[in-house]
Structure 1
Amino acid sequence: MANLKELRSRITSVSSTMQITSAMKMVSAAKLNKAQMAITAMRPYANKLTELLQNLSASLEGDSASAYAEQREENKILVVAIASNRGLAGAFNSNIIKASKELYENVYSGKQVDFVTIGKKVNDIISKTHSVVSNKNEVYDDLTFANVAAIAEELMEYFTSGSYDKIVVVYNKFKNAATQEVITEQFLPIVPISGEAATNTNLDYIFEPSKEEIVEQLIPKSLKTQLYKAIRDSFASEHGARMTAMHKATDNATELRDALKLSYNKARQASITNEILEIVGGAEALNN
C-alpha cells in the first residue's frame, strides 16, 4: 500500500506541474502575438533606414565622414549581450551567454572586452567572470523606444569619446515561435556598403539640406532604431522560446502522468489480486 500511496503522490505532483506549464504556455502565446506584430511591423522600416544610412556614409569622404563611421584599430571592444530577466525559456538565455563568451575567448582574444548586459539571466553569469560596465535589466519593465534610445545614446557616447573602438550587439533574432537565430551585429562604427552592393544602390539623389547634415541628423536615430529592433527581436524570441519550452514540458508531464497512472492501476490490481488470494487461501484452510 505504501507503493500505491507514493504513486498517488507523484501523480498529483505531476498533474499540478502540468497545469502550471500549460498556463505558462498560454500566457507566453498571448504575449508572443503582441511582440511578433511589433517586430514584424518595425523590421522593414529599421532595415531600410539602416541601408539608407550605410549608402550615405559610404559616399562621404574625408572631413565630411561621420564620427560614428570612424574606423579604428580594434583594441577595446564592447559587447552588448541581450537576453531576458526570466528563465524557463529553453536554450534562449544560454545561447546568448555562449555566443558572448565565444567573442571574448576566440574572436577578440587578447583584446580588452567589456560587456553591457540587458537581461538578468545573462548578467548573473557574465558578471561572475567578465567586466560588466553597465546593466540594463530595467528596460523590460517598460519596453519603449524612449527607454531604449537612452541606452543607445550611452553606447554612442562610449564610441565617440574613444572609450571603445568597436561595439557589437548579440541577440536572438525572431524567426518563428520555434526558431530563434543568435545574431552578432556590429553597432559601431557604422559599416558602409561597399563594392558591388554600393554600386547597385548608388542612386542620383538631390539632397536638401546637404548630404552631411542629413547624415548627422539621421545616424543617431538610425542607431537608436537598430538597437530597439534588436531588443524587440529578442523580446519576441523570448516568448516564442518560452511557449515552445512550456509546450514540450506539458507534453512530457502528460506522458509521465499517464505512465504513472498505468503503474498505479497495475499495482492496485496486483494488490487486490493478492488480497483475494489471501482470502481464498484462508477459506480453504478453514475447510480443511
Structure 2
Amino acid sequence: MGNNLKDIRKQISSVLNTQKTTRAMKLVSTSKLKKADEMARRSKTYANKIVEVLAEIKARVSNGNNAVDNPYFFLENSNLNLVDIVLVTADKGLCGGFNINTIKEVNRLITEHKLKDMKVRLRVIGKKAVEYYRFNEIEVLDSVVGLSTSPDYSQAADFINKAVEDYLNGVTSKIILVHNGFKNMISQEMKVSQLLPIKTIELPEVCSSILEVEPNEQENEILNQLANKYVEFSMYFALVDSLAAEHSARMQAMDAATSNAGELAKSLTIAYNKARQEAITTELVEINTGVESMK
C-alpha cells in the first residue's frame, strides 16, 4: 500500500509539472498570436492594394475583355498534366490538428488530381510536412524549414519564384497554394488558392486611378511586374497567416491540455486520499486485532 501511495504522489507531481508547462506555453502563444495577428492585418492591407492596382492594369490591357494575353493570367500550355502544390505547415507540434489538417487537404488534392490523370509535385514549407512526407517516402521537389516560424519576404519570394519559373517555361500548368489560415482567436480555416494562372480579378467599384502609363508594351510590362509581386506577396501572406493560425491552434491546444491536467490531478488526488484512508483503516484493524489477541 505504501508503494501505491508513493506512485500516486509521483503521478500527481508529474501532472502538476506538466500543467505548469502547458499553462506557460499557452501564455507564450497568446502573446505571439497578438503580434502575428497584427502583422497579418498590415499585410492584408498591402495585399488588397496590390490586387486593386493589378485589377486596374488588367482592365486596361484587356480592353474590357475577360481574356488577357499574359502568361500570368492565361497559359497556352494549359493542357499540361503537371501541377505544383505549395503547402505551408509549422516547424513545431503541440498545436492540435493544425499540421495534419493541412497535410490531409494536400493529400485530398493529390488524389483529386490523380483521378483527372494529372501529376502533382510538392513544394513544402515547414518541418512537420517535411518529416511526414519523408516518413511516408513521398517525393518532395523542394522544401524549406524555418521559414514558417520566421516569415521573410525575400526568402518567400525566392521559394515561390522557382515554381513560377517552371510555370512560365511551360513545365507546369498550375500552381496551388495550401495553408491553414487564421480566422479568429479560437478557430482556423483551410485556405486553398490558385496562384497561377491568376483567376479573374474584379476591378473594385470604387477604385481611384493612381496610374498614368503609356499603353501596350509599358502596361504589359507593369502587369507582369505586378502579377509577379502579387504571387510573391501571396506566398508571404500565407506564411504570416499560417503563423497566426499556428499560435491560435497552439493556444487552444495548451488551454485544453492545462484543463485536462487539472482534472487528472483532481482524480489522482481523490484516488490518493482513498488509498491513504484504506491504509489507515487497515492499520487500525491490525492494531485492534493485535490487542484482542493479547487478551
8 Å contact 2:102–2:180 — kept in the other structure? yes
Q: Is the 8 A contact 2:148 2:239 kept in 1?
A: no
Aligned to 1:115: 122
Alignment of 1:1-288 (within 5 A): 1-57=2-58, 59-61=60-62, 65-71=69-75, 72-109=78-115, 110-127=117-134, 128-140=136-148, 142-193=150-201, 197=202, 207-210=212-215, 211-287=219-295
Q: Distance in 2 between matches of 1:141 and 1:106?
A: 30
Report if the CA contact (8 A) 1:18-1:253 is conserved. Answer: yes
Matched AA of 2:273: N
SS at match of 1:69: coil
In 1: Cα distance, 2:72 partner to 2:114 partner: 21
Contact kept, 8 Å, 1:80 with 1:115, in 2: the verdict is yes
Length-normalised TM-score, structure 2:
0.88
The one-letter amino acid of 1:120's match is K
Taking a change above 3 Å as real, the CA distance of residues 170 and 199 of structure 1, as seen in their structure-2 partners, is: closer
1:257 deviates by: 0.6
Q: Which TM-score applies when normalising by structure 1?
A: 0.90
Cα RMSD after superposing both structures: 2.4
The alpha-carbon deviation at position 83 of structure 1 amounts to 0.4
Shift of 1:241: 0.6
Identity %: 34
Q: Number of matched residues?
A: 284
1:32 deviation in Å?
A: 1.1
Question: Kindly tell me: are residues 186 and 64 of structure 1, through their superposed partners in 2, closer, same or farther at Cα, counting changes over 3 Å?
Answer: closer
Contact kept in structure 2, 1:55 and 1:201, CA below 8 Å? no
Contact 1:80/1:170 (<8 A) preserved: yes
Check whether the contact 2:73–2:199 (CA below 8 A) recurs between aligned residues: yes
Cα 1:202–1:42, aligned 2, differ >3 Å: closer, same or farther?
Answer: closer
Q: Is the 8 A contact 1:97 1:122 kept in 2?
A: yes
Mapped partners of 1:273, 1:166: distance in 2: 75
Look up the equivalent residue of 2:277 and give its one-letter code: Q
| Stretches of structure 1 lacking an aligned partner (at least 5 in a row) | none
- Asked whether the 8 Å contact 1:57–1:65 carries over to 2, the reply is no
Moved more, 89-98 or 7-16: 7-16
Q: How big is each residue's C-alpha offset from its partner over 1:78-131, in whole Å with a ceiling of 9 and x where there is no partner?
A: 000100111111000000100000001024532110100000111222343433
Write the distance in 1 (CA, Å) between the matches of 2:204 and 2:188: 33
CA contact (8 A) 1:78 1:167 kept: yes
Q: In the TM superposition, what whole-angstrom CA distance separates every residue of 1:178-235 from its partner, at most 9, and x where no partner exists?
A: 2110111001111123xxx559578877632443233123222221111111111001
Structure 1 residues 233-242 or 41-50, which shifts more? 41-50
Q: Identify the range of structure 1 (159-168 vs 140-149) with the bigger mean alpha-carbon deviation.
A: 140-149
